[in-house]
Structure formats: C-alpha cells, structure tokens
Structure 1
Amino acid sequence: MAIAWDEYLAQVQERGQYPTAREAERSTRAVLATLGGHLADTEREELAAQLPAPCSPPLLEAVAATAPLDPPEFTEAVALLIEGATPDTAHWDSGAVLSTVADVVDADVLRRALAQLPPGYALLFGRTEPV
C-alpha cells in the first residue's frame, strides 16, 4: 500500500524545510513531472503505483524527454517549472522530493529507475551509489 499523501507531503516538507505543505506539493509536482519524462513507461507506472495518488499525474503525463539530462540539467529543468526558482533552489527541491521517493518505493523499482538515468542521479535520491 502506498504511503498516504499527507504523510508523503509531511516528509517532503520536513526534508525541504518548506514552511507549508503547499510548497512541498509544488516541488513534488515539478520534480516528478521532470523525472517522468526521463523514465520508461514501466518504471513510471511502477513508481506511480507505489506513491500517493496525487503523484501519478505528474509522473504519468510527463512529456518524454528528447535527450537525457545530467543532474545539473535536470535541476535546471525543474527550476523552469517553479516560479522564482533557481538551479540551486531546484537542486534542493529535487533532493527533498527524490529522497522521499527513494524511501517509500520498492528498492528494485528504484534501482531500475536509476539505471535509466545518467550517472549522478543517486545523489539526488539521497543515495551515495545506485541501489
């Protein structure tokens, strides 16, 4: 069973040190929309199935990326989706969201998702090495 939405947001809010759950939600949607464009349908669907229902649309409806983004390019893409964000703040947002994702999804699903991404993404997921 997936983690409850309010519990998920509370974890993101704590990790991101956001003053409100609304800011945690905004970051979650932007990061997952960017991530979804870089994963194959199977991994997107499996991630969505293990996350709270509000995480599904950003993951599943993401437009497929035309080229893989390295982690700095990923955070720049996230920054474009968050009003007033910079690559540095988007890096922080990405870490808060993706480390929470890594903690609540099955390790095998996470491992397969990371295998589809360029080197360096494990750090955004709060891991020092691929799982």
Structure 2
Amino acid sequence: MADRLKALENFILLTLGAIDRPISILHLEKEVFLLWNFHPDIHNYLNFVKHYKGPFSEEIAKIIHHPFYLNNCWEYYPPHSENDLGGGYVELTDNGRAEYNRIYSDAKERESLLPLLSGIKLVR
C-alpha cells in the first residue's frame, strides 16, 4: 500500500511538472485519465468513476489535498467564486520543481518508463 501511494504521488508530481503552470483539478483528472487509458500499468494505482464533469478519481483528490510523501511539493488554490467548475488549481512549489527534476532524471534512466514520460509530456 505504501509503495502504491508513493508511486501515485510521484506520478501526479510528474504530471504537474511536465509544464510549469497552474492546472485546475478538473483538467488534471482529465490528463491523468488519458494517460490511465493508454498506459495499463497505471490501472493498478487509480480508479475512475463516471461523473457529470467527466472521469473522477478520488485518489487524485485525496493526494492533492493531503499528500503523504511529497509534502510542500505543490500548492492547492481554491476555485474562484465566479468559476468553481474546475475544483480549484494546483501548482508546483519550488520544492516541488526540485523534486520533479530529481524524479524525472531517475525515471529517464529506467528505459521502461520512457513511454510514460513521453505520454505525460504529450498530454500536458
């Protein structure tokens, strides 16, 4: 269970760090859902359910609000009062950017992760 949670937090960090700008929680879920569909190894880490806004993952919501391993790597901003459809925004902190660079470098050395890293960059 601990390895699963750590891997999922790292995956979220890699997704957030692929492009350096804030992203809505709704958009993050859509991107991760696309990756989930094309990379079967991710199926062991996430579940999605149908939702009126599109695919929803409770795991993503929990990790964004309460990370266990990657504390202080991203910041959550609540939605603006005029637009709460996206569920708020998340953005990497300076600590998160440094951790992203470390994890990305480690992952690039493992050839089996190269298709996933390419997919993340493409989707973001």
Q: Which structure has the higher relative contact order (CA within 8 Å, separation 6+)?
A: 2
Q: What range is the shorter-chain TM-score in?
A: 0.3 to 0.5
More strand by percentage: 2
TM-score w.r.t. length of structure 1: 0.36
More helix by percentage: 1
Structure number with greater Rg is 2
